Amino acid sequence: MKAGGAIELGESKSASSTPKIGGVNKGVSILDFILRIIAFLGTLVSAIAMGTTRERLPFFTQFLQFRAEYDDLPTFTFFVVANSVVCAYLVFSLALSIFHIIRSNAKRSRIISIFFDTAMLALLTAGASAAAAIVYLAHKGNAKANWFAICQQFNSFCERISGSLIGSFVGVVVFILLILLSAAALSRR
Amino acid sequence: MKAGGAIELGESKSASSTPKIGGVNKGVSILDFILRIIAFLGTLVSAIAMGTTRERLPFFTQFLQFRAEYDDLPTFTFFVVANSVVCAYLVFSLALSIFHIIRSNAKRSRIISIFFDTAMLALLTAGASAAAAIVYLAHKGNAKANWFAICQQFNSFCERISGSLIGSFVGVVVFILLILLSAAALSRR
């Protein structure tokens, strides 16, 4: 990996850009920074909201206590892991974002940023939509497959898991904007 | 929308680029074209394989015939729609890809291309991973939620829906590569 050297190379080659374009790119980089904080908060809240979901029903039999936790369903575990990974990535990417504010004509570091943003977009979308598919099933059930709607019993559990999807989908939209911003900044060098 | 004019503007501004960089970008554009055809075939096969899935069990009662079709589960309908939309988009994007092979220094059209590629990546990932979550459930079931594995009865149905995910996930990987290639071509202008 010679990413560090590559970044420097990108710097020195683009030093002849006009100051006006540098100013626009600085604005884009600041917007990038703000959007990353929004996405960070969204994925953090999603991971915590899903990860702390559990419900115990007030009645139980001798052998069985009725309780629901997020890790009863593997898809929700994947959702929590995906959100946590993206959340951790966003913290590190803030450093790169600050670097872009200071040196607004960087080139290679923006390509690296676009690549990882795209990968994280795919991961976050996968987690969010897989969880959404299961949440839909929990709400509506499916008569053809004989899967019953569990939300009739586990009401607050269902509200919690539905709500925790929101932050994740906000994150998806923000990532699409981030990639667009990076591409625009690259082209304006 | 003045996209057409913007593309022309991007052209005329970058006419002073060196021929060598133009040659590299032409190679990148040809690779872009090939990757789009691969993604097109992947999503087409996925949509057709899922859309034509149905199984009738050889036994039936007076009131009920046991059959499974893809549209018994709304998630699979979404999967077929998402794959079809992405497939149609890829056909149109081939035209833009040819444009990039001819004029390898285009700028705005590449940003437009990155934006739509990113949106389509999100759509395709959402469809594929939501369907994967349901396919997993069909195979394994979930004891906690009282959802039974339907694959024990509908064996060939399950094999078909599992297989049809492959093309879609190939498409997701290709889209990540496409976005990376476009970003690299933009930076090399």
| A183 in contact with chain B, both atoms CB, cutoff 8 A | yes
Interior angle at CA B166, CA B165 and CA B171, nearest 5: 100
CB A138 within 8 A of CB B142: no
| B75 in contact with chain A, both atoms CB, cutoff 8 A | yes
Mean pLDDT value across residues B19-46: 87
Residue-level pLDDT at A121: 95
Residue A14 has pLDDT above 60, yes or no: no
Residue A185 has pLDDT above 90, yes or no: no
Average pLDDT, chain A: 84
Distance from CA of A58 to the nearest CA of B (A): 17
Average pLDDT, chain B: 84
| A145 in contact with chain B, both atoms CB, cutoff 8 A | yes
Residue B86 has pLDDT above 70, yes or no: yes
| A65 in contact with chain B, both atoms CB, cutoff 8 A | no
**Between helices A108-140 and A19-51, what is the axis angle to 10°?**
30
Closest CA to B101 of B7, B21, B44, B31: B31
Residue-level pLDDT at A154: 83
Mean pLDDT value across residues A83-107: 90
| B28 in contact with chain A, both atoms CB, cutoff 8 A | no
DSSP result, B39-87: HHHHHHHHHHHHHT-EEEEEEE-SS-EEEEEGGGSHHHHHHHHHHHHHH
Show residues of chain A in contact with B172, CB under 8 Å: 122
- Which pLDDT band holds residue A9 (cuts at 50, 70, 90)? very low
Taking phi first (over 0 means left), then psi (-120 to 50 degrees means alpha), and beta for anything else, what does residue B146 get? Answer: left
Dist CA B143 CA B19 (whole Å): 64
pLDDT top residue among A73 and B129: B129
Comparing A127-131, A145-149, A160-164, B180-184, the range with the smallest average pLDDT is: A145-149
Distance from CA of B135 to the nearest CA of A (A): 11
Residue-level pLDDT at A2: 44
Residue-level pLDDT at A15: 44
Residue ranges of E strands in B61-160: 65-69
Distance from CA of B186 to the nearest CA of A (A): 6
CB A168 within 8 A of CB A83: yes
The distance from CA B184 to its chain's CA centroid, rounded to whole angstroms, is 21
Q: What percentage of chain A carries pLDDT values higher than 90?
A: 48
Show residues of chain B in contact with A74, CB under 8 Å: 136
The full set of domain ranges for chain B reads: 20-56+70-187
Residue-level pLDDT at A61: 60
Residue-level pLDDT at A105: 77
Residue B167 has pLDDT above 60, yes or no: yes
Say if the Cβ atoms of B125 and A122 lie within 8 Å: yes
Residue of A121, A180, A186 lying closest to B187 (CB–CB) = A186
Say if the Cβ atoms of B125 and A125 lie within 8 Å: yes
pLDDT, tens digit (0-9, with 9 covering 90-100), for A72-86: 889 999 999 999 999
Residue-level pLDDT at B154: 84
Is the ipTM above a cut-off of 0.90?
no
Residue-level pLDDT at A90: 95
- Which pLDDT band holds residue A4 (cuts at 50, 70, 90)? very low
- Neighbouring C-beta atoms of residue B140, cutoff 10 Å: 12
Three-state SS string over B5-42 comes to HHHHHHHHHCCCCCHHHHHHHHHHHHHHHHHHHHHHHH
